[in-house]
Copies of this chain bind each other. A is one copy, B any other.
């Protein structure tokens, strides 16, 4: 840990078991933790303006280095005030490294596969991984591209994010232990190159987080956690596959968390299901990002406690055609204050934009309430009771 307060500070203000609440301070302001980070993959949270993301109470959004590099390019973004100026968002921004996306090209759709939902994909042609970095072709125009620790940090420097993520190999679920171990070691070497480049060339107020890899192997996760923690990083993200189910994910996190420096902010990459987020907070994770809440909204699905469910109600289903109650009773969002399940069912069936809009507001309201409720519960020393109440169907804003 380099812990340069000019870049980033993290102050824990309450603890409750392993769970903790705190404040991350960055060049563009503070992030109250635990926090959920909406994705602004292509410089926007899908369907929601920057002002609206602010109004929903979010402190931090996540931009995507890979996509922004391909279009409009980091040079154009730099010329228009960096990512903050370009998208009209003056609160903190974290950017991922592009590693996940280029390895998706290489391994074939990592997003599903990394979570064990399908078998190994065919490596796509035109992607070549070496110690130096990754060569690939742009899907937009076929041009040859190259991402490496140095180029990723260079792009993120031009994007001007508050927190840059180190360039890692996102090891897929189907990789065997040997590949996973070698990949992890390369990720550690790449972190050193990221930090070296950033120390010489990076924006003085941009923080760098290292990424823990090691797949589903507890001993590799422990080794990676210690290596990343010992490097000169400003915070830590946990990446790569977390296994096929909730139990395996918990096992991976339980192996990892105790080996991380206790004073580092910890970010769990790509996780944002309601139950996973509560589990993660309970284990001491501080920030989470995930595409699921906004993606579900585009498919007509609302986050809501449902008996025996996964906190999802699919409003397109016929059972909601005549249901005058709101999506979630007591929810402060506009969809729930003003509209019925009947209306949202109709909009979802018709794939109407207003349905996407209302459900996006609802799902982001729910996620924000979930971490805010968790934060208050930690401060009050009753996080487990809060998590149990939400899991039992209680709403996050009253639990």
Q: Which of A14-22, A168-176, A250-258, A349-357 sits within the interface?
A: A349-357
The verdict on A132 contacting chain B, using a C-beta distance below 8 Å, is no
Cross-chain contact A339 with B88 (CB below 8 angstroms): yes
Determine the residue in chain B with the shortest Cβ distance to A90: B338
With A88-B339, A346-B71 as contacts: A354 and B47 at CB distance below 8 Å? yes
Cross-chain contact A338 with B42 (CB below 8 angstroms): no
Q: Which of A48-56, A108-116, A189-197, A367-375 sits within the interface?
A: A48-56
Cross-chain contact A352 with B49 (CB below 8 angstroms): no
> What are 17 A-B interface contacts by the 8 Å CB criterion?
A43-B347, A44-B355, A45-B354, A46-B352, A49-B357, A51-B338, A71-B350, A76-B321, A80-B322, A80-B324, A80-B340, A80-B343, A86-B342, A87-B339, A87-B343, A88-B338, A88-B339
The verdict on A236 contacting chain B, using a C-beta distance below 8 Å, is no
With A43-B343, A349-B71 as contacts: A51 and B357 at CB distance below 8 Å? no
Distance between A51 CB and nearest chain B CB, rounded to angstroms = 6
**Which residues in chain A, 255-283, are within 8 Å of chain B measured between CB atoms?**
none
**Measured CA separation A321–B354 after assembly (Å):** 28
Distance between A57 CB and nearest chain B CB, rounded to angstroms = 18
Cross-chain contact B49 with A354 (CB below 8 angstroms): yes
Cross-chain contact A48 with B324 (CB below 8 angstroms): no
The verdict on A72 contacting chain B, using a C-beta distance below 8 Å, is yes
Contacts of A79 in B (CB 8 A): 322
Contacts of A71 in B (CB 8 A): 346, 349-350
**Which residues in chain A, 81-138, are within 8 Å of chain B measured between CB atoms?**
86-88
Cross-chain contact B44 with A354 (CB below 8 angstroms): yes
Q: Mark A35-73, 1 if CB is under 8 A from B, else 0.
A: 000000011111111110000000000000000000110
Cross-chain contact A334 with B51 (CB below 8 angstroms): yes
Contacting residue for A47 out of B88, B324, B353, CB 8 A: B353
Interface size on A, residues (CB 8 A): 40
The verdict on A303 contacting chain B, using a C-beta distance below 8 Å, is no
Contacts of A46 in B (CB 8 A): 352-354
With A72-B321, A80-B342, A346-B71 as contacts: A48 and B354 at CB distance below 8 Å? yes
In the complex, besides A45-B354, A48-B354, A88-B338, 7 extra interface pairs with C-beta distance below 8 angstroms are A42-B350, A44-B347, A72-B346, A80-B342, A86-B346, A88-B343, A353-B353
**Measured CA separation A49–B225 after assembly (Å):** 46
Which of A48, A51, A335 is the most central at the interface, judged by chain B CB atoms within 10 Å of its CB? Answer: A51
**Measured CA separation A98–B42 after assembly (Å):** 40
**Measured CA separation A350–B47 after assembly (Å):** 13
Cross-chain contact B322 with A76 (CB below 8 angstroms): yes
Determine the residue in chain B with the shortest Cβ distance to A40: B354
**Measured CA separation A298–B354 after assembly (Å):** 13
The verdict on A364 contacting chain B, using a C-beta distance below 8 Å, is no
The verdict on A358 contacting chain B, using a C-beta distance below 8 Å, is yes
**Measured CA separation A309–B343 after assembly (Å):** 40
**Measured CA separation A88–B342 after assembly (Å):** 11
Cross-chain contact B87 with A44 (CB below 8 angstroms): no
**Measured CA separation A352–B43 after assembly (Å):** 10
**Measured CA separation A382–B347 after assembly (Å):** 43
